Structure 1
Amino acid sequence: MRSALPAFNEIWQRQFRSDCLSQSETFSEQASFLIGCSGGVDSMLLLRLMSLLYPQKIRAIYIDHQLQAPSADWGRFVAESCALLNVPCIVQKVAVAEGNLENQARSARYQAYQQHLSTHEILVLAHHQQDQAETLILRLLSGAGIHGLAAMRALDQRDEMTIWRPMLNLSREQICQWAAELNVQNIQDPSNFNIQYDRAWARAELWPMLQSRYPKMQLALSRSSALMQDAEDILADVLAQDMVSCGTSDRLQLEKLQALSLPRQRQLLSAWMKGQEQYRPSFDMVQRLMHEVIDSKMDSQAALHCNGFYYLRFSGGVFRISSAEYMLSKHEQFAMQTIQLHDNQLFKVLSGQFQIQYTETYGLSPTLLCQNLSLVQRQGGEKIHLHGRSGSWPLKKAIQQAQIFPWLRHRIQILSIDDVMLGVFTPKGFWLAESPYCVAAGWQPQLVSSDNRKTGF
């Protein structure tokens, strides 16, 4: 009896081969392919199809997670299968970190892929239509939005790699039929049937129940993910416009942010907080940023920590700074230094890199060059008489007026000689102090580059 599903030779000539070639038209002529092979029926069929489509342009990689006793044997099986097809094969062992086993194994796997991908090489994975539907269901149950429900794309362009999933529109039934027709050998990973894992549970328990009620569920869910991908692309266009309007990767202007509707504010903050990470922060974390930081009182100094960054509000903006920079501002203390400066010298202090240059106006006396000068971190309570202004005033007030960010103020250092203040090094440059050493056409340290781009407004 003829199978209800199209035979391999029939659909290969009519559709699948042409679809794959069409999808890959965006790749450069130099493109080659690295195929992720687990040894299962899906990836082993993919290996066979790619060997027919792109002979001499493919390699395979098996990731040994070392979580099961026969994993090394599976690696040898994949390598031997590749040898029969004249396909080079990499077997890579990885260590899976503690935590959510599925997530950590996936992370280790993709790190290994990235390690072995060559220039112009595309990572090819064997995800199929049921994988797509399962992904959408699991993400829906976890409270995902458009980005999660868009699930997997046939062509997925990431900053570090390009992923191609040419079998994403094939059903598992079709894959199994083709594998049988082509006599594709494979192994069975028992973890795929262990329902303590979410995906295995969904496949064994949830899927049959839903499919008995909705026989065309798999196709419908796949179509839903395609619609979500369209919505995601539209949202990406809006986000790009809002990001240009509201700020940069380090800072958002609150006035422009709050002029947007609340949904657009949430979406922009979510994308902004994601930065270069793979996943967006939780909805609750975005809400905390809005309520605890953005809506906080101006003098509250509220700070929210999320994924290695601190988010702070300051003078009309909300800022994203690294945890390391933030913690330095809270705890780092530096001892007094003795330095000698020379004509045209390029030197570095906490605020950045400076160079000694002569000015046409006022500066420091040349007699100070090559002398021992003191450099000390501000402690608080100091006063400064800025050259060209009348009277002394608190250094703290000068810093506030210059709008130097609070998390950079630990970098401010005072230059002096014999307890006479000569000036102050700040992330915005050197401030010359009024002193007996001020002379016409003297020298001043000129800021060449700051240690931190976020120096102020």
Structure 2
Amino acid sequence: MPGTLSTSDAFWQQPVTKQLQQQLNQFAPQQQFLVACSGGRDSLSLACALHLLCPGRVRVAHINHQLQAPSSQWANWLAAQCQQWQLPCVIQPVEVAAGNLEAEARKVRYHALFSLLQNNEILVLGHHQQDQAETLFLRMLSGSGVKGLSAMKTREQRQLESGQNVGLWRPLLDCSRQQITELAALICPDYIDDPANAQDNFDRVFLRQQVWPLLKRRWPALDSTLNRTALLMQDSQEILQDVQMQDWLQCGDHNVLDIHALERLSQPRQRLLLLRWMQGAEQYAPAFHLVEEVRQTLLNARQDASPKVVWQGWQFRRYQHQLYRLPQQLPKAQDLQVLWPCGQVLELPTGQWQWQQQELGFPAQYMEQPFLLQARRGGEVMHVQGRAGHWPLKKCLQEARIPPWQREQVQLCYMQDQLLGALTTQGFWVNQQQTLVKDGWLPVLVPNPAFPA
């Protein structure tokens, strides 16, 4: 291979070159690109072509999964080629967790690629027309809905767990394997041929090796036809997103849904909204049967029932006329012996608490004494404000419409043997048998910006 890349008239006439030129015109002149490159024909020819079309604006990133014996040799070979072409290249080794090898490798690869992105860079991926068709086909076999059948977009924005937004660009989605092969023959005839691409124990390889040739003999235009289907699904998905946004506004937010409003929607719109609501920020959506379980079990539950559906570290609960999306593991009340001086914020299962001066409250010297914060044992009674006499705390919590899981977070506050009150998610309930003084002090829930109400 020559030490430097050069163009010819044939390069400029290539369909792939024309596609890249057309799409590059949609970017700002200063836009920088990070090309994910395995060293295979597709990604390597993409990296080379972009380097020729916009020199100085392209970097190559190679993720070494360390899953095969020659993986380090491949990384070194690619680094050497890029050095000859004066194309900046970064090699990033990663560790792939046990389990589904394809899924885990993809997960760690994208995580590494996103971490390598610099300011003003977008991630460029070498997926082409057949990749898109295979993705659509595999998602169809897994029972995906419209969003899954939308497959891959040419350009998209993705929000990471950190909140950072990154751009992705797949400029070859409209290019056939044959067109890319012709381009590679002109500019990078040598490339890495991963033997894993011939191992049909992987779903995509099995599809490519065993199924695709048979289908294409019958339907030669299979790749372009399925790509058109993916584009139509993307249009449909955008329309559904508009409908879903209207339903969000009517039914609640990402943590709580109003059941009455949800029941006014048609069943397909219920399923769509519940699917997105359950998924939240998770990468993959829940299975259809789980969405139906939430829809049928939680929506149709008795008023006094407390059903629960668990998925992916989340639990979905019903209370009164609302559905709740909650972490599967919620903090519960524990017995604590604490010193709680004025000004200190105390983190408890019910929230963040701090002493604040009120019109009526406890004397200031109370804050100099140790407190016992005790979890409920059952059977507690107290004299709650607005009620005559002693009332079971359980009944007070029920009538205040505090959900069952929040009742497990309530703590009783004692100083020596005196019950001062109860710390609940609705605030501090004073035991009215206590003597309050003017301009005294009471525990108050402090708003937490990270968890808005």
What TM-score do the two structures reach when normalised by structure 2? 0.91
Distance 2:338 2:17 in 1: 80
Q: Paired residue for 1:356?
A: 355
Which residue is 2:6 aligned to?
A: none
Question: Mean alpha-carbon deviation: is it higher for 280-289 or for 374-383?
Answer: 374-383
Q: CA deviation at 1:117?
A: 1.4
Q: In the alignment, which of 228, 251, 255 is matched to residue 223 of structure 1?
A: 228
Q: 1:375 aligns with which of 360, 373, 380?
A: 373
Shift of 1:124: 0.4
Shift of residue 449, structure 1, vs aligned partner: 2.8
1:167–1:403: structure 2 CA closer, same or farther, 3 Å change rule?
A: same
**How far apart, CA to CA, are the structure 2 residues paired with 1:407 and 1:53?**
60
SS of residue in 1 equivalent to 2:48: helix
TM-aligned CA deviation for residue 36 of structure 1? 0.7
C-alpha contact (below 8 Å) 2:371/2:415 kept by paired residues? yes
Alignment of 1:44-55 (within 5 A): 44-55=44-55
- Asked if structure 2 preserves the Cα contact closer than 8 Å seen for 1:387 and 1:432, the reply is yes
Please, which moves more after superposition, 277-286 or 170-179? 277-286
User: Residue type matched to 2:420 in 1?
Assistant: L
Distance in 2 (alpha carbons) for counterparts of 1:282 and 1:57: 42
Tell me which residue corresponds to 1:293.
Answer: 298
When the two chains are superposed, the root-mean-square deviation of aligned CA atoms in Å is 2.3
CA 77–359 in structure 1, closer or farther in 2 if over 3 Å, else same: same
2 CA distance for matches of 1:122 and 1:164? 7
1:178-234 CA deviation, whole Å, 9 max, x = no partner?
111224321211111111111111111111111111111111111111111111111
Alignment CA distance shift 1:372-1:178 (3 Å) = closer
The separation in 2 between residues aligned to 1:454 and 1:305, in whole angstroms, is 24
Contact residue 365 and residue 437 of structure 1 kept, 8 A: no
CA contact (8 A) 1:351 1:450 kept: no
The C-alpha deviation readout for 1:349-375, integer Å capped at 9, x for no partner, is: 442333333323x32244534234433
Q: Tell me: CA distance 1:297–1:33, structure 2 relative to 1, closer, same or farther (3 Å).
A: same
> In the TM superposition, what whole-angstrom CA distance separates every residue of 1:101-120 from its partner, at most 9, and x where no partner exists?
21111111111112211232
8 Å CA contact 1:44, 1:185 repeated in 2 = no
* Deviating more after overlay: 37-46 vs 195-204: 195-204
Q: Which shifted more, 189-198 or 381-390?
A: 381-390
Q: Deviations over 1:395-431 (max 9, x none)?
A: 1111122222222223212123343322111122111
Task: Describe the superposition over 1:14-53 as per-residue Cα deviations: whole angstroms up to 9, x where unpaired.
Answer: 832432224x43xx66531111111111011001111022
Q: Aligned-pair distance for 1:321?
A: 0.8
Q: What secondary structure does 2:444 align onto?
A: strand
Quote the residue 1:281 is aligned against: 286
What is residue 179 of structure 1 aligned with on the other side?
A: 184
Match of 1:313, SS? strand
1:412 pairs with one of 410, 413, 416: 410
**Aligned-residue offset at 1:283:** 0.8
Give the Cα–Cα distance (whole angstroms) in 1 for the partners of residues 17 and 46 of structure 2: 18
Q: Of residues 201, 204, 208 in structure 1, which corresponds to 2:209?
A: 204
Corresponding residue to 2:425 among 424, 427, 447: 427
The SS at the match of 1:240 is helix
Q: Which amino acid aligns with 2:366?
A: L
1:152 deviates by: 0.8
Distance, in Å, in 1 between the alignment partners of 2:189 and 2:280 is 42
1:85 corresponding residue in structure 2: 85
Secondary structure of 1:156's counterpart equals strand
Determine whether 1:142 maps to 2:139: no
Is 1:15 equivalent to 2:14 in the alignment? Answer: no
TM-score, normalised to structure 1's length?
0.90
For the 8 Å contact 2:420–2:430, the answer to whether it is kept is yes
Shift of 1:79: 0.8
Counterpart amino acid of 1:289? V
Give, in angstroms, the shift of residue 454 of structure 1: 8.2
> SS state of the match for residue 279, structure 1?
coil
Match for residue 266 of structure 2 among 256, 261, 270 = 261
How far did 1:54 drift? 2.2
Residue 265 of structure 2 aligns with an amino acid whose one-letter code is L
| 1:251 maps onto 2:256 in alignment | yes
Give the superposition deviation at 1:387. 3.2
> Relative to 1, partners in 2 of residues 1:231 and 1:390: Cα closer, same or farther, differing over 3 Å?
same
1:298 offset after TM fit, Å?
Answer: 3.0
Gap regions ≥5 residues in structure 2: 1-8, 161-165
User: What does residue 192 of structure 1 align with?
Assistant: 197
1:16–1:371 distance in 2 versus 1, CA, 3 Å? closer
Q: Could you tell which deviates more after superposition, 308-317 or 425-434?
A: 425-434
Q: 1:451 to 1:312 in 2, by over 3 A?
A: farther
Q: Confirm or deny: 8 A CA contact 2:420 2:434 kept in the other structure.
A: no
1:420/1:435 contact within 8 Å kept: no
Structure 1 CA distance for aligned equivalents of residues 79 and 106 of structure 2: 21
Equivalent AA in structure 1 for residue 397 of structure 2: I
- Quote the Cα distance in structure 1 between the aligned partners of 2:436 and 2:105: 64
Residue by residue, what CA displacement relative to the aligned partner does 1:314-356 show, whole Å, maximum 9, x if unpaired?
111111111221xx44xxx5234253544x6554444233333
Is contact 1:151–1:225 with CA below 8 Å preserved after alignment? yes
Match of 2:99, SS state, is coil
Using the aligned pairs only, state the percent identity. Answer: 39
> What amino acid is the match of 2:209?
A
**How many angstroms apart in 1 are the aligned matches of 2:190 and 2:108?**
26
Match of 1:437 in 2: 435
Partner of 2:446: 448
Which residue of structure 2 aligns with residue 321 of structure 1?
A: 326
How far 1:93 sits from its partner (Å)? 1.4
Q: Deviations over 1:261-312 (max 9, x none)?
A: 0000001111111111222111111112122333222333221111111111
Cα 1:406–1:29 change in 2 (3 A) is farther
Worse-superposed segment, 163-172 or 235-244: 235-244
AA in 1 matched with 2:58: I
User: Residues 334, 204 of structure 1: CA spacing in aligned structure 2 closer, same or farther, 3 A cutoff?
Assistant: same
